[in-house]
A and B are shown apart, each in its own frame.
Chain A
Amino acid sequence: MSSNKKYWKSVDDLNGSPFVETLRQNEFVEEIPTDEFLGDKETLEASQTTRRDFLKYVGFSTAAASLAACEGPVIKSIPYVVQPEQIIPGVADYYASTIADGFDFASVLVKTREGRPIKIENNKLAKAGYGANARVHASVLSMYDQNRAQGPTASGDAVSWSDIDAGVMSQLNSGKKTVLLTQTFASPSTEKLIAEFVEKYPNVSHVAYDSIGEQFALDAFEVKYGMRVLADYDFSKAEVIVSVGADFLGDWNGGGYDAGYAKGRVPVNGKMSRHIQFEANMSLSGANADMRIPVTPSQQKVILSALAGGSTANLPENVKNAVNTAKNELKAAGSKGVVVTGLQDVPSQTKALEINANSEVIDVAAPKMTRSGDVRKVNQLIKDMNAGRVGMLVMAGVNPSYTLPNATEFDAGLAKVAVSVACSMRADETASIATHIAPVPHYLEAWGDVQIKLGEVSITQPTIRPLFDTRQFQDSLLKWMGSDQSYYDYLKATMINAGISFNKAVHDGVVMTNAFAKAVSTNTNTSITEDAGLSNATLQEGGYELTLYTKTSMGDGNQASNPWLQEMPDPITRATWDNYITMSEADAKKEGLWLDRSSFFTEARHDANGGLNGTLVNITVNGVVVENVPVMVQPGQANGSIGLALGYGRTTSIQEEMQTGVNAYPLMQNFKTTQNVSIQKVAGVHEFAVIQLHNTLMGRGDILRETSLEIFNTKDKKYWNPIPEVTKNHIEYEVTSPEVDLWEEFDRSIGHHFNLAIDLNSCTGCGACVIACHAENNVPVVGKSEVRRSRDMHWLRIDRYYSSQDSFELDDTKKNDFNGLSGDNGSLGGFGEMEDPAANPQVAFQPVMCQHCNHAPCETVCPVAATSHSRQGQNHMAYNRCVGTRYCANNCPYKVRRFNWFLYNGNDEFDYHMNNDLGRMVINPDVTVRSRGVMEKCSMCIQMTQKTILDAKRDGRQIKDGEFATACSNACTSGALAFGDVNDTSSDIYHKSKDDRMYHLLESVGTKPNVFYQTKVRNTKEA
């Protein structure tokens, strides 16, 4: 049976908080703040202006304003003097390129308008590099950042490039030890160039450093296979996936596994992959798992060795059972099973590699090259620097003063280095204390090649001339080698020498070649097996096991000044603009960190407007203290463990609004993301900006439908995905039947009729679509305090629902057994009876945007007909007609309409990208930038569908299936979002609409949406 479960969006929803009740009653969570300007009696009385005067002023100024408005402004148009051949004003050009910022690696297509990159799309020709995540989609905005370094500087003063070069060259020729500390480039040309550089200057050595590295996985792979790279995994081949602390749908192993994973998650012929997750934090992977067992990192270690054949002793009974289940299932799956782990020690990583040795899923022949850093070398470098043995340090693509756990040591060492050159995009934490800044361009302004996976080289090409006086690191290297060659020529020569057709490679953005295959060495490094003292280091024993993680939005913090990413809700907690400790409810109560809803006002869990509050703690590890970290209660967090996101707490070269959260890197002692920590409560209350609390389910739990694979395979659709029925004249009708419809049906069988399909099975909740939607539709960023007031503007939100019972059978039984409200078997106590539902909930993600109802409730209540329906199925919103009554938002059952409470562009109150000339360059010229006081919402990317139609008209041809797309469907690599014309019976979307799993949100309301969902099927078995 589907959706008989109790769904809840937060702990308070589950517990029936009065605030949630208030929210349920109020359509808009906040009153219009008339008191702010009328309530202050004193000011009003003290004013010299009488009411009559006031009216006079208003009258005159209105008259003056309207008179002034009669005079139209003079608008200038300045054409090119010589128009470039490829550029036609008004027509977008696409260029293939590749991002490789040291943390994110992906092949992309860059959409440019009049020479400005405005959007990132996926490059479908790429294989390993396919699948841009939210950060990659947002990276285009990071280029238009006014806080970037705009020219070379020395000790803070602007200098010329020749000054920088002279300084560097004199150091290079002095024979003093010079170190190149760089990110992982994974670039054949750059690696070759660095090798040549080191050859020319023997006093130079190269150290690669990853901000959040895969030290232990790299070590284990190097020991076993002789190459310092990462194993690759193809989860589409997996039948059983067991993850022990690996968030492989997040950034584990460099990320990028969504597409493959999602392929195996759609039931085909009654089969889908089975995913068992053992983890401490509630991660994206855990949220998608069929079976999730919350365990602390130390338990994970035992679990992994148990999977490898060790004992399960010392594990709780339920975990023991789960491990045995996982073991049996892995055995049954044979070569189609895989074990992945994020455990922070070499032996565990080695064990995982050994378990997978016969697996089809793992690929060790063509590994991933996106991480290569070795912290032993970094630690050695810091020692050398402090000992005064380093004459010059050249840094590229790294920000060690921010990302190193031992940053203070590094900073002290840096002060002893005579010349330090930061080749970085901004005067960040490191660059600002380096002697020289040699600014580098953004990847959209630079050349490059990247071998993300062995055998697949992606090309980076510039899509705009450098905005500032910047020079690529590679160009600098060439210059310092005394070469006149540009890096472009160098790159081209490398490619051509490797027998690659350069022009084709640049055009496609990717080329399959074995020219840069690395020689496999068999000699194993024994020092590695000992972990170089990293895993054996004794850490302070403390109360909690901390797992440091990265958010899908912020990653390693490289793009912290990107407002899109700051405002992107975390897929699990739905919090924006923050990082925080995630803690289980039981632990929070134990530590006195639980804010009760009945507490004193200032310490209430919620503000009157529904904003969530949290307590504050200090975290201590190894004597390092991170202060005032807010605590958020996270259902599913393993007891005895806490989580904290890296990448926040940036302070340098970043505007005040973006200086959010706390810096968790100092806690990453010995470069391990799991730590034993102790926490101390401190006074104060932290205000979160969490989105999921904004609206309530209103008891309409069937908005989300899910079933188990067993039921899906054995029962009829009517059982697990029924269409609600109503009675008319004592006859039951399905609500979709015209017999019970209030409205006359409009004939939509002619022309295009767009539908959007959302497969809840494929959706991993990664949020790439959210950012893509932002970029395509000029959605404004409103800031933390506005988000807290429920004024977020996301056209597309990914709702996250928790549900309490592990099995559907139990759910049914329990519900059926309820007898009356109270009493032994009463429903009131029923949920309370459940053993702490928040301890390990199931999670479901549901992307919700405007449903484009054919019988739209919003359209009928608009007094000015600003929102209307089209034959093509899109619900139109004419901004210029809207007067802002917000009736439509009131009447929308899906709560997808967004009101512009303020002017978010050109307004000094909001210092985000739409408020400076540079940031505005990212705006899509085909979509209106909305003004204050109008309602807006998803348009189903009508600008894109209209363009597709127009292109076909101009060519005089029919439109093929697959041509229609929206920003979200383009961004979705897991195939969860599909868009098309249902009137085309050969189309994919047509077949999806006829699928058994298809359902509409709140079918019983009778809105007939043009967005439909595919019921989530969980691969659960009864043990």
Chain B
Amino acid sequence: MIQVNRRNSFSRIITLCAAFLLTFSSSLFAQIDASTGDADAGKALFKTNCAACHKLYKPMTGPALYGVVEKYEQDFEWLGKWIRNSQELIATGDPRAVKVYEENGKKVMNAFEGLSDADISNILAYTQTEVVAPLPPPPGEIGETVPGGVSNEIILAILGFVLLLLVAVLYIVNNTLKRFAQAQGIEVQEEETRKPLWKAFVENQFLVLVSVIFLLLGSAYFAYGWMSQVGVDQGYAPVQPIHYSHRIHAGENAIDCKYCHSSARVSKHSGIPSLNICMNCHKSIGEVAAETQAEGVNEYGVDYNKEIQKLYAAVGWDEATQAYTGETKPVEWIRIHNLPDFAYFNHSQHVSVAGVECQTCHGPVEEMEIMYQYSPLTMGWCINCHRETNVKVEGNAYYEKIHEQLSKKYGVENLTAAQMGGLECGKCHY
């Protein structure tokens, strides 16, 4: 028994020593201090840990963090405790903690026990970053392009002027030479007057007939061409009530099309996303990055942040209180892809069953700053694709039997949509 006791006490001492050493070392070597922090490292940490709820200069789910160090009078110990586990701090009845908790609508902040003192120092250092003024438009860019355009025109004008001058000079030279010739008595041989070309043409009835036929055929060809574009709105890119950039969302941020247009999977409509879908992200993205904003202003003449404000106004989101006001104003988008009433098109058939990429019909949406109609959406265009595209039958039990029988009948390996019956009138018109 005694032996056992002794061994116990020994291990306890060891543990205590270790604990003491650890506490000592941590408190000794890594006190939290914003002034020792590295703001760049802090930025990375901020983005991974804090950015979901905090912004530097604007309140979000949590309050704005710029100047937080000054706000709490450089009480780094308190800040550290709060960041690592605010609820524990509140539970102890710390008056300041309770006050902060209540001031911010009793929102519970996640505990970040894993952050080291150095991490917290870095983050706090980052929170002291001054506001960066929005980048002014890169100087000279606009100034350069404008004179560039002008100079081209001037060069062209000068060229034209020179050519005119040349013609005039030649004419004068010719006249002068003639005068010299006359003066010197040299007879300039006048050419024999031939029948004018047009007279010859008019007199040749065959030629007239042929050219009239060609003229008629040609105008018919062009008239047909012109008429078949009536009602085809390829390239239609109306101005939308909110400037929504597919380039940023689908392109830069690589958001899947069907994240927003989810009904394309199951419905005939691809669906214009309701505004609550936008707010899934835009609750925390109240403004775009400074570079994006600059790009928008300079290249597309649009203030993205203002567009986000339009969204907030429509959905009734109050940024200050981070809450919905309940006052909504549905957005009246202008429809780009209009199929006539008598044509039935089903997105889910193409997207879910056939596995067609959205881009096949809608074009490089991820590059479109403004959405436009990429395909002509004519019947010929539909039919053509149905003729060329093979039906995707792999792993679809529905197609097993019919594909086996039909491909045998037509003697082909893969069936096109047309062979499957995709050209029948009633498949799209009813």
Binds B, one of A554-562, A614-622, A949-957: A949-957
CB-based contact B424/A876 at 8 Å: yes
Chain B residues positioned under 8 Å from A927 (CB to CB)? 430
Smallest CB gap from A952: residue in B = B398
A78's contact among B269, B333, B400, by CB below 8 Å, is which? B333
A959 in the interface (beta carbon within 8 A): yes
A872 in the interface (beta carbon within 8 A): yes
Chain A residues positioned under 8 Å from B348 (CB to CB)? 950, 954
CB-based contact A88/B231 at 8 Å: no
CB distance from B31 to the nearest CB of A (A): 49
CB-based contact A939/B421 at 8 Å: no
CB-based contact A954/B274 at 8 Å: no
Q: State which residues 42-58 of B face A: CB under 8 Å.
A: none
CB-based contact A750/B405 at 8 Å: yes
Among B231, B334, B429, chain A packs the most CB atoms within 10 A around the CB of: B429
- Given contacts A75-B338, A880-B429, A942-B430, are A958 and B333 in contact (CB under 8 A)? no
A928 and B353 alpha carbons, distance in the complex (Å):
24
Q: Mark B334-360, 1 if CB is under 8 A from A, else 0.
A: 110010111110101100110000000
A751's contact among B316, B329, B335, B421, by CB below 8 Å, is which? B421
Binds B, one of A24-32, A66-74, A194-202: A66-74
A37 in the interface (beta carbon within 8 A): no
A76 and B268 alpha carbons, distance in the complex (Å):
18
Chain B residues positioned under 8 Å from A751 (CB to CB)? 402, 405-406, 421
A72's contact among B233, B333, B398, by CB below 8 Å, is which? B233
B41 in the interface (beta carbon within 8 A): no
CB-based contact A956/B398 at 8 Å: yes
B64 in the interface (beta carbon within 8 A): no
CB-based contact B274/A82 at 8 Å: yes
Chain A residues positioned under 8 Å from B141 (CB to CB)? none
Q: State which residues 45-71 of A face B: CB under 8 Å.
A: 69-70
Q: Mark B230-259, 1 if CB is under 8 A from A, else 0.
A: 110100101000000000000000000000
- Using a Cβ–Cβ cut-off of 8 Å, how many residues does chain B contribute to the interface with A? 57
- Given contacts A75-B334, A77-B333, A747-B409, are A953 and B274 in contact (CB under 8 A)? no
B424's contact among A70, A747, A871, by CB below 8 Å, is which? A871
CB-based contact A928/B421 at 8 Å: no
B274's contact among A79, A868, A876, A928, by CB below 8 Å, is which? A79
Q: Mark A74-101, 1 if CB is under 8 A from B, else 0.
A: 1111111111000011110000000000
Chain B residues positioned under 8 Å from A747 (CB to CB)? 409
A954 and B233 alpha carbons, distance in the complex (Å):
31
CB distance from B257 to the nearest CB of A (A): 16
Chain A residues positioned under 8 Å from B332 (CB to CB)? 76-78
CB-based contact B398/A959 at 8 Å: yes
- Given contacts A870-B424, A928-B429, A952-B398, are A72 and B338 in contact (CB under 8 A)? yes
A77's contact among B233, B236, B335, by CB below 8 Å, is which? B335
CB-based contact A750/B331 at 8 Å: no
Q: Mark B315-339, 1 if CB is under 8 A from A, else 0.
A: 1100000000000111111110010
B427's contact among A75, A88, A946, by CB below 8 Å, is which? A946
A785 and B267 alpha carbons, distance in the complex (Å):
41
* Prevailing SS type, chain B contact patch: loop
A874 in the interface (beta carbon within 8 A): yes
Chain A residues positioned under 8 Å from B331 (CB to CB)? 78-79
CB-based contact A950/B353 at 8 Å: yes
Chain A residues positioned under 8 Å from B330 (CB to CB)? 78-81
Q: State which residues 207-243 of B face A: CB under 8 Å.
A: 230-231, 233, 236, 238
Chain B residues positioned under 8 Å from A77 (CB to CB)? 272, 332-335
A955 and B233 alpha carbons, distance in the complex (Å):
35
Q: Mark A144-158, 1 if CB is under 8 A from B, else 0.
A: 000000000000000
B2 in the interface (beta carbon within 8 A): no
A956 and B397 alpha carbons, distance in the complex (Å):
5
Q: Mark B263-283, 1 if CB is under 8 A from A, else 0.
A: 100111101111111000000
Q: Mark A927-957, 1 if CB is under 8 A from B, else 0.
A: 1110000000001001100100110111111
Chain A residues positioned under 8 Å from B353 (CB to CB)? 950, 953-954
Smallest CB gap from A83: residue in B = B274
CB distance from B222 to the nearest CB of A (A): 16
Among B266, B273, B402, B430, chain A packs the most CB atoms within 10 A around the CB of: B430
CB-based contact A90/B268 at 8 Å: yes
B314 in the interface (beta carbon within 8 A): yes
CB distance from A86 to the nearest CB of B (A): 12
CB-based contact A82/B335 at 8 Å: no
CB-based contact A81/B335 at 8 Å: no
B430's contact among A72, A939, A952, by CB below 8 Å, is which? A939
B396 in the interface (beta carbon within 8 A): yes
A787 in the interface (beta carbon within 8 A): no
CB distance from A78 to the nearest CB of B (A): 5
A954 and B332 alpha carbons, distance in the complex (Å):
32
A949 and B349 alpha carbons, distance in the complex (Å):
10
Smallest CB gap from B347: residue in A = A90
B395 in the interface (beta carbon within 8 A): yes
A532 in the interface (beta carbon within 8 A): no
Chain B residues positioned under 8 Å from A91 (CB to CB)? 263, 266-267
Smallest CB gap from A940: residue in B = B426
B425 in the interface (beta carbon within 8 A): yes
CB distance from A869 to the nearest CB of B (A): 8
CB distance from B272 to the nearest CB of A (A): 4
A496 in the interface (beta carbon within 8 A): no
CB-based contact A876/B396 at 8 Å: no
A74 and B332 alpha carbons, distance in the complex (Å):
11
A770 in the interface (beta carbon within 8 A): no
Chain B residues positioned under 8 Å from A958 (CB to CB)? 397-398, 400-401
CB distance from B206 to the nearest CB of A (A): 35
CB distance from A753 to the nearest CB of B (A): 12
A89 and B397 alpha carbons, distance in the complex (Å):
27
CB distance from A64 to the nearest CB of B (A): 15
Smallest CB gap from A955: residue in B = B398
B426's contact among A88, A874, A926, A957, by CB below 8 Å, is which? A874
A927 and B400 alpha carbons, distance in the complex (Å):
30
Smallest CB gap from A747: residue in B = B409
A493 in the interface (beta carbon within 8 A): no
CB distance from B403 to the nearest CB of A (A): 10
- Given contacts A88-B271, A942-B426, A954-B353, are A82 and B263 in contact (CB under 8 A)? no
CB distance from B236 to the nearest CB of A (A): 8
A718 in the interface (beta carbon within 8 A): no
13 additional A-B residue pairs with CB within 8 Å, beyond A90-B271, A880-B343, A946-B427: A76-B333, A78-B333, A81-B329, A81-B330, A83-B276, A88-B263, A88-B266, A89-B267, A876-B425, A876-B430, A880-B429, A926-B344, A946-B430
List, sorted by A's number, 14 A–B pairs whose CB atoms are closer than 8 Å.
A72-B236, A75-B334, A75-B335, A77-B333, A79-B331, A83-B274, A88-B271, A870-B424, A876-B425, A880-B343, A926-B268, A946-B427, A952-B398, A954-B348
8 residue pairs, one from A and one from B, having the closest CB atoms: A876-B426, A90-B267, A83-B274, A90-B269, A80-B274, A90-B268, A79-B272, A81-B328
